[in-house]
Structure 1
Amino acid sequence: MSQASIKFRILGPVEYHDGENWVPIKAAKQRTLMALLLLNANHLVSAQQLHSELWNDGPSSHVGSLLAGCVWRLRAAIGDSAGETLLTRPAGYQLAVPSGGLDLHEYESLVASGRMQRASGNLVEAMRSFSAALELWRGSPLADVALTSSIMAESARLEESRLAVLEANFGMRIALGQHEDVLPELKLLVAQHPLRERLHEHLMMALYRTGQQAEALGAYRDLHHLLSDELGIVPSRPLRELQQRILEEDPRLNDHGALPVATASGPGEPAVSPEAAPCLLPHQPSLFVGRTSELAAIVGLLAEGRPAVAIHGLAGSGKSALAIAAAHASAGDFPGGRVYVDMRGTTGSSALRPDQAMQLVLRSFGTEQGSGGAAVPHAWTGPAGGRALIVLDNVRDSDQIQEFLSVPPGCSLIVTSRSPIGGMDGLRHLRLGRLTVSASIDLLRQSVGTPRIDTEPAFASELARSCDYLPFALRLAADRLATRPDWSVADFARYVAEPHQRLDFLAGGNVSLRDSLLASLPLLSDESGGTAVTAVMALRRLGFLDLTIVTVEALAVLFGTREGEAHKIAERLVDVGLIESLAIDRYRVPQSVRALAREITGSDHEAAEAVQRVVDHYAIAAREQTRLTPGAWYRLERETLNALVTRDRTGALVESLGRMRSMLGANGSCSAHSES
């Protein structure tokens, strides 16, 4: 047998082809050795790794000779006595496999081809490639090989890959009208893999398209019960939406030539064929709670024909997630397609220019900029006709989207930004703030698990409070807990509650709360003149003051300026998403923003004196209120007074509050000391 034409198979029992037949390797050690070399085909595998995997019961003085002997016997078994295929290298061994000589390589090539065909909308060829890839499987991968650490890891990876390709192929077949043919195999696979939601999605679609609406809803109900009982969670949003569409007998579910739902294509791949409307949206947010009314409001406005909805609010309040969820939920109102563009408005120099954004949108609808810069009129209706929806996410200001300020005919926009966007035709504003306490706890439950959160409810509530009840911070906290099962909720909550380490713990991977908040600082510096410098300085002083609620009157004292100027600075901080407006003269400063503010470098010799001025301001106000009716004022300012009384260096505030307590008499609940 020519070694140049030797072939191997590992997608099942390990075998090689002797020129006429497929032949197994009889000896277990030689079989494992060949499997390890095939998994690293055409690459060196060190002798040390082979030692540890083949003889994992400890070192031996004879292990080197044992490996050499095993290699020699494997060469003899595959007819490679000259060592042309199983090569000896200075540090180990290498199996030279010719092109097309390993079933795994052929499988991976077919899968890659199928994904490319699917991305280009050629569903028939995609199905053929996926089917050919699956036909190479002969059972469990490496089925007759001892389970060393590498073999176990690679077997698990290959099994997962096979299931993913099966799911993708079912999506192609159902989209091409083969729903009756796939049902028996789908039912079997769902029974074998009951927690794979994608298989349930395909089963529901196939059942519905064969006229079995009740059975399709029953499949969803079975999954819901299973996930609830086993994991304490509910099915993902795409599955919940599919259930609703089945209940409503949505006629689009019977359309052939398009994939069943948005999740049926892989990340970054179109969810419909090129002949259908473009749907270039990110996947549904996996953790999306507490925004039901806001979502309904946006979907309702778009359904009414509102040309533009702008979402603005605090950094980390979930503006992008809400916009994406609304775009998915509004699919039926936009047959012309839906397109998403990240404007990167908080990334400085890498932010998109207005003309770049316009070109991205036009290309998404299969057209280009018209002569003289004018948009081609039919660009907004897309190939399928009808209204189109454009999501412009993370916009810096109205200048960045000046090409869209006159909303194109037959189009609607969803715009998200930290600052309010104005000047757009038919614009409707929606300000996004904090979640409710219960919604914050629900978000933690969905990621960390209900039993773990509900076992320590007080500390879960404390953690949510330390995250300012904002979705981004809550998701970061949930991710840390979910990936650290040995951490208790109580311990983690105590660490996050410490202001000097909160921002360090609310981070994971390449994202962090600190970076998200820091992205707002350049927006302050974008202002010309002295206001920008004053705004940064004001933020630092707010960190030193460390109050949850501040009034314009107190800010003027802190900044050493007029109330009108203090109000202007505060509104600038609101516009960049750092503080929250509660009333025209009252603001909330999130704990995480105060922590960030204390990290801002710079010299401010008057900071301590500025804080004392605020303490003295409240001391004077308390004395004045004592002459009036102080009960209502005290209840309104109680949290602020409790925080400031510990920073009173002169005793003036303590004295004023003492007089107020005397006047309030027996109402001990009004004691500042008792609550500080």
Structure 2
Amino acid sequence: MPPSSSLRAAPTRFRVLGTLEFFDGQRWSAVGAPKQRALLAALLLNANQMVPAERLVAELWPDEVPDSASGLLAGYVWRLRRALGNGDVLVTRPPGYLLRLPTGALDVHDYERLVAAGRKSLAAHNPAAATASFTAALDLWRGAPLADVAPTPWVMAEAARLDESRLAVLEARIGAEIELGRHEPLLPELKQLVSQFPLRERLHAHLMVTLYRCGQQAEALGAYHDLRRLLVNELGIEPSKPLRELQQQILREDPQLSVPVAEPAAAAPVQVARTPQLPPADSDTDIVVGGEAELSTTVSWLVDGGACAVYGPAGTGKSTLARRAARAVEAHFPDGQVWLDLRSSNPLTAQEVNTALHRALGVTAEEGTLARWPEVVARRRALVVLDDVVDADQVRPLLSPPPGCAVLMTGRAAVGALGTHRQARLGRLSQSASVLLLRRLLGDERVDADPTATATVVQLCERLPLALRIAAARLATRPEWTMAEFATRLGDPRRRLDLLSYGEHSVRERLLTSVRLLERDPDPRPRVALQLLGALDLPVVDSGTVAALLDLPEHTAQPVAERLVDVGLIETISIERYRLPDLVRLFARERHDPDVDTNAAVHRVINRLVQLVREQLAKPPGARLAWYRRELSSLRALADRDDTDTLHKVVDELRRTLLGYSA
């Protein structure tokens, strides 16, 4: 699939490392009709080359060509051209058709560039950079190549080539990680791969070295004998000479097999990265699950240039996604990639950001000046990642990068305020993705041994990537704990936040950084509201509830609630309703300000509910029932806390009026 750098760039992009999809500038879309998918696949596999119509007919109808094949092919081309929405992409070129494919318009192009960069880094004895490039390349895969396209001869040949390439890159990435001394986290993955591909000698070599470095010399030799037995019985051959030599090295405990010197620790709070290196990932964040749609969208934005942003609550993996996106577009920014941590818990000023950017790009800036973008990156193609942005004032001069450059921001606030409409919200993982993450971190056997307990752990971690990783880290270092025992302990609200803390990673500390943002505000009401919401302990509230807690008019209280949304503590359901995650409520209940009367605030909410119930009694039955169903959980929770029993009485009255009514 050769790219063409001389063609005029078209807005349409394509993905084949998984199902066949195209990007129309707004979203990734599939091609609905099977024959149209097969046609697009054939043209992509012969991009920038005229494909004769008769060859396309043979590809689309390999068994029996219908009499109307030429007309059918012309119809498929017409419909495909209309679906792509760009007449310059698919053109008629007698005696056939040609698909224009600019450089970088196909995910395979990005994949092969990253693979080439990884191999170049290996040749330069830089396994850390090689690992980053290979990981970014493998992250582009979404499944089997051309998975939803009929297995025509061209498709089968290309799929086989790509599958073999992916396996070779996977072996190269594992080899680079072993060279860096990351052998222990690799062991579960290697055992699984060897069982999937039992004749791949390079995987067996990696497994033998990894087992040996983990202190399992006997198991390493056993892995060799297992492979030898298989090769002799199945193929009648001995293992290759390099593998035989590795066995001998293990037998004599060759010092060359010892663990290499560890990588240097990560640098200072303001991290500067020049191509091809980016800030190092923690070992567990090398295992990535979820966010593929947001990643693909972000990569597309970066390729197009300009500013874009990823936002969402604390612990959802925004920095990880930014790192993956930056690696995926490395080839598009050959003059540098700069990573600046703006430290939302102790924010950098705009001047500090400007100075750090100058230093990263090797440009001298006089103290007190704030150079414009073109002055800093004139004639350069560079990417700047601004991680953990607090507000627009920090980064305003950087929001309009010059042609050839791009800015990617991450932050907890809804980043529309940062001056770009290109923003992706990163949320919690799905249930299945959460379980998959635990499998990759702990192994299938432990996770699948008790599916009910695993589901409970996922629920108690609220499908939050940070919480799931911490839970997995605790379980990994406590192999004697069962999943059910851990789920029971995690279910104790008094222990949950303590259990979701491991080493330097902590859900409580991550939430505390959001509170520190509130402490910078001159208005104390958002901090008070957080404590009162913890005391109220409801999973869903509306702006009226916040108003009652604070004893404020509703129009005054809603900006207070929105401020809590901005710092990532609560989540918006609709324009006046908010979700309070369980972990945030547990955290909020730990905050004690003696000057805040939580009992009085809760009773104001109860009195408000009593009034609302009485108002419902005057409404039509349909409206009453809809309101009752929406507020039922809150009514039940607060009725038990009403020492006057008034809320119980009015709710019973409302319930009686609804008996026998069905909306």
Q: TM range, normalised to the smaller chain?
A: 0.5 to 0.7
Alignment of 1:158-557 (within 5 A): 174-175=123-124, 216-219=165-168, 230-231=191-192, 278-283=275-280, 285-305=285-305, 307-347=306-346, 351-369=347-365, 373-374=370-371, 377=374, 379-380=376-377, 387-421=381-415, 426=420, 428-528=422-522, 532-557=523-548
Percent identity, aligned pairs only? 37
Distance, in Å, in 2 between the alignment partners of 1:657 and 1:373 is 62
- Structure 1 residue 375, shift from structure 2 partner: 5.5
Q: Which amino acid aligns with 2:300?
A: G
User: Contact 2:133–2:327 at 8 Å: present in 1 too?
Assistant: no
Distance, in Å, in 1 between the alignment partners of 2:304 and 2:132 is 36
Indicate which of 562, 575, 579 corresponds to 1:584.
575
* Residues 199 and 633 (structure 1), Cα distance of their counterparts in 2 relative to 1, 3 Å cut: closer
- Structure 1 residue 476, shift from structure 2 partner: 1.3
Aligned twin of 1:254: none
* Residues 577 and 200 (structure 1), Cα distance of their counterparts in 2 relative to 1, 3 Å cut: closer
- Structure 1 residue 460, shift from structure 2 partner: 2.0
Q: CA RMSD in A?
A: 4.0
3-state secondary structure, aligned to 1:434? coil
Mark the structure with the bigger radius of gyration: 1
Question: What 5-or-longer segments of structure 1 have no aligned partner?
Answer: 1-168, 178-196, 206-211, 236-264, 271-275, 671-676
Distance, in Å, in 1 between the alignment partners of 2:170 and 2:322 is 29
- Structure 1 residue 214, shift from structure 2 partner: 7.4
* Residues 557 and 213 (structure 1), Cα distance of their counterparts in 2 relative to 1, 3 Å cut: closer
* Residues 663 and 585 (structure 1), Cα distance of their counterparts in 2 relative to 1, 3 Å cut: same
User: Contact 1:405–1:423 at 8 Å: present in 2 too?
Assistant: no
Q: TM-score when scaled to structure 2?
A: 0.58
- Structure 1 residue 291, shift from structure 2 partner: 0.9
User: Contact 1:232–1:450 at 8 Å: present in 2 too?
Assistant: no
Q: Which amino acid aligns with 2:532?
A: R
* Residues 423 and 233 (structure 1), Cα distance of their counterparts in 2 relative to 1, 3 Å cut: farther
- Structure 1 residue 645, shift from structure 2 partner: 3.0
Q: Which amino acid aligns with 2:331?
A: G
3-state secondary structure, aligned to 1:339? strand
- Structure 1 residue 430, shift from structure 2 partner: 2.8
Which sits farther off after the overlay, 364-373 or 646-655? Answer: 364-373
* Residues 541 and 233 (structure 1), Cα distance of their counterparts in 2 relative to 1, 3 Å cut: farther
- Structure 1 residue 479, shift from structure 2 partner: 1.2
Distance, in Å, in 2 between the alignment partners of 1:465 and 1:577 is 19
User: Contact 2:307–2:400 at 8 Å: present in 1 too?
Assistant: no
Distance, in Å, in 2 between the alignment partners of 1:221 and 1:326 is 19
* Residues 448 and 176 (structure 1), Cα distance of their counterparts in 2 relative to 1, 3 Å cut: closer
Q: Deviations over 1:236-258 (max 9, x none)?
A: xxxxxxxxxxxxxxxxxxxxxxx
Q: Deviations over 1:345-366 (max 9, x none)?
A: 213xxx4333332333333333
Aligned twin of 2:564: 573
Distance, in Å, in 2 between the alignment partners of 1:569 and 1:447 is 39
Distance, in Å, in 1 between the alignment partners of 2:131 and 2:335 is 27
- Structure 1 residue 548, shift from structure 2 partner: 0.6
Q: Deviations over 1:170-200 (max 9, x none)?
A: 97663499xxxxxxxxxxxxxxxxxxx9799
3-state secondary structure, aligned to 2:569? coil
Distance, in Å, in 1 between the alignment partners of 2:132 and 2:399 is 43
Alignment of 1:612-623 (within 5 A): 612-623=603-614
3-state secondary structure, aligned to 1:583? coil
Distance, in Å, in 1 between the alignment partners of 2:332 and 2:119 is 28
Q: Which amino acid aligns with 2:587?
A: L
User: Contact 2:390–2:412 at 8 Å: present in 1 too?
Assistant: yes
* Residues 605 and 426 (structure 1), Cα distance of their counterparts in 2 relative to 1, 3 Å cut: closer
Q: Which amino acid aligns with 1:320?
A: S
- Structure 1 residue 600, shift from structure 2 partner: 1.5
Distance, in Å, in 2 between the alignment partners of 1:655 and 1:414 is 55
Q: Which amino acid aligns with 1:653?
A: L
User: Contact 1:460–1:493 at 8 Å: present in 2 too?
Assistant: yes
Distance, in Å, in 2 between the alignment partners of 1:512 and 1:577 is 16
Count of aligned pairs: 432
Q: Which amino acid aligns with 1:328?
A: R
